[in-house]
Amino acid sequence: MVRPLSPDPCSLKPGRGAVGLYIHLPFCASRCAYCTFVTSTELGLLPRTISALCRELDLMGSRSGRPLATLYLGGGTPSLVPGGLLRQVFQALDRHFPRLPATEVTLEANPDDVTPERASAWADLGINRVSVGVQAFCDPVLAMLNRRHTAVQAREAVELLQRARFAVSVDLMLGLPGMSGGDLKATVSEVLRLRPGHVSVYLLEMDKPHALGRMAARRPDLFPDADAAAQQYLAVGRALVGAGYRHYEVSNYALPGELARHNLRYWRRRPVLSAGLAAHGQSGRRRWAAPDELPAYLEAVERGRLPRSWSSGLGEQEVLRERVMLGLRLSRGVREELVQACMAEAPAFREKMEDFLALRLARRSGDRVRLTPRGWLVSNELFAALW
């Protein structure tokens, strides 16, 4: 059940503890073949959108003003935003959201945007972590994905950011068309050689329409089947864990001390405010999202309103299910008593969970239940039984 709650979390009083803040920067130089994120290639709209974003931050800040534990600039392609416009965003932030010495400030970057000048401007703004969309260290695969960079550019971007002392995260994708076993090995060895502090590994998602989905309908032979993609996921995981990375979440690996603190806030259900087109936020039981159409977003903010396409509150049972689902995404798992409460609540989930335990896709450990890497691969089946 979804029921309305008030007030909007952006009206929470100052001094109630640090929060996370996600800012969506919805522009890209071109559209990648697999991407369904809310983003536009009409770069002429950037200045007006950034002005609206700053206004939104002012609207939020005048009601909240809480210090930031984490700030995440995602997209779209935040690395594409010219320095002057990015500075405006940070000026608006600094008017309302104090940053602490330990605030994690992440910017998503495409390799072709990473230059010494930009890296130095990012560091001057206080950005201390860069998440680089590498996808694969293999040029024919990158070309098929319509990426704008080569494997060499991706390697050089990571090296430049490491020399500039950013914490670096690398995104990889699996289940891609035309990626041979050799390409995958080359990608993994390049990652291990570069040794970024954090690696995200995503299996190609096909649930929303995109160009690769249409290609898969025409040329299924170019794509690994589900078993082969699963083998890729397990093999990459073994290689990263063997090299000292901790597989701490379904899609995420980190060296000690390098966990993505912003993303952990979502999985641990901590407050994350949001700003920008289509941005989603959460605080306690409340969830909300901004409109995902630019005209509706601009109109709301330019009229002095917080842009919301919906805002709702979770009921007690939904909170319980969400806790279990998010907890099982993490390697530390979730307290058994919560799993038991969900099993009592949802017979289909009980049945699935029992199957998972019997098949060793899940295991008990102390007072917790965790999924194994093979369990994570099929976790959608388990989570579907919860809703």
Ligand X SMILES: C[S@@+](CC[C@H](N)C(=O)[O-])C[C@H]1O[C@@H](n2cnc3c(N)ncnc32)[C@H](O)[C@@H]1O
Site residues (vs ligand X, CB under 6 A): 34-35, 37, 74-75, 77, 108, 110, 133, 135, 171, 173, 202, 204-205
Nearest distance from residue 79's CB to ligand SF4, in Å?
9
Indicate the residue among 37 and 383 with the shorter CB distance to ligand SF4: 37
Indicate the residue among 82 and 347 with the shorter CB distance to ligand X: 82
Could you say whether residue 37 binds ligand SF4 (CB under 6 A)? yes
Nearest distance from residue 37's CB to ligand X, in Å?
5
Structure tokens at 199: 């690696």
Could you say whether residue 153 binds ligand SF4 (CB under 6 A)? no
Indicate the residue among 119 and 324 with the shorter CB distance to ligand X: 119
Nearest to 147, CA basis, from 180, 110, 172, 176: 110
Nearest distance from residue 132's CB to ligand X, in Å?
7
Give long-range contacts, CB 8 A cutoff, 24+ apart: 44-51. Answer: 45/294, 46/81, 46/82, 46/85, 47/85, 48/298, 49/277, 49/294, 49/298, 50/81, 50/85, 50/88, 50/89, 51/88
**Measured CA angle at 69 (ends 67, 75), to 5 deg:** 105
Nearest distance from residue 355's CB to ligand X, in Å?
26
Indicate the residue among 133 and 291 with the shorter CB distance to ligand SF4: 133
Could you say whether residue 35 binds ligand SF4 (CB under 6 A)? yes
Nearest distance from residue 368's CB to ligand X, in Å?
28
**Which stretches does DSSP call E strand in 179-319?**
198-203, 246-249, 252-254, 272-275, 280-283, 286-289, 310-314
Residue 100: strand, helix, or coil: strand
Nearest distance from residue 347's CB to ligand SF4, in Å?
40
Q: Quick one: which segment of 34-42, 262-270, 281-289, 364-372 binds ligand SF4 (CB under 6 A)?
A: 34-42
Indicate the residue among 32 and 362 with the shorter CB distance to ligand X: 32
Indicate the residue among 76 and 327 with the shorter CB distance to ligand SF4: 76
Exposed e or buried b per residue across 18-56, where buried means at least 16 C-beta atoms within 10 angstroms of its C-beta: bbbbbbbbbbbeeebbbbebbbbeeeeebeebbbbbbbb
Q: Quick one: which segment of 27-35, 313-321, 352-360, 369-377 binds ligand SF4 (CB under 6 A)?
A: 27-35
Nearest distance from residue 133's CB to ligand X, in Å?
2
Q: What span, in angstroms and rounded, lies between the C-alpha atoms of 327 and 368? A: 10
Scan residues 92-111 and list those touching ligand SF4 (CB under 6 A): 110
Structure tokens at 335: 């307290």
Nearest distance from residue 38's CB to ligand X, in Å?
10
Among 18, 20, 23, 39, contact with ligand SF4 (rule: CB under 6 A): 39
List, in order, residues 6 or more apart from 246 with CB less than 8 Å away.
253, 254, 255, 256, 259, 331
User: What is the longest distance spanned by two Cα atoms in the chain?
Assistant: 57
Could you say whether residue 31 binds ligand SF4 (CB under 6 A)? yes
Is the C-alpha dihedral spanning 194, 239, 70, 103 positive or negative? negative
Helices 181-194 and 151-163, axial angle in degrees (round to 10): 10
Helix (H) or strand (E) holding 183: helix 181-194
Q: Quick one: which segment of 73-81, 120-128, 271-279, 318-326 binds ligand SF4 (CB under 6 A)?
A: 73-81
Q: What span, in angstroms and rounded, lies between the C-alpha atoms of 216 and 139? A: 20
List, in order, residues 6 or more apart from 31 with CB less than 8 Å away.
39, 41, 146, 211
Binding partner selected for residue 31 from ligand SF4, ligand X, none, CB under the kind-specific 5 to 8 Å limit: ligand SF4
Q: Quick one: which segment of 71-79, 200-208, 261-269, 270-278 binds ligand SF4 (CB under 6 A)?
A: 71-79
Binding partner selected for residue 252 from ligand SF4, ligand X, none, CB under the kind-specific 5 to 8 Å limit: none
Nearest distance from residue 307's CB to ligand SF4, in Å?
20
Q: What residues line the site for ligand SF4 (CB under 6 A)? A: 28, 31-32, 35, 37, 39, 75-77, 110, 133
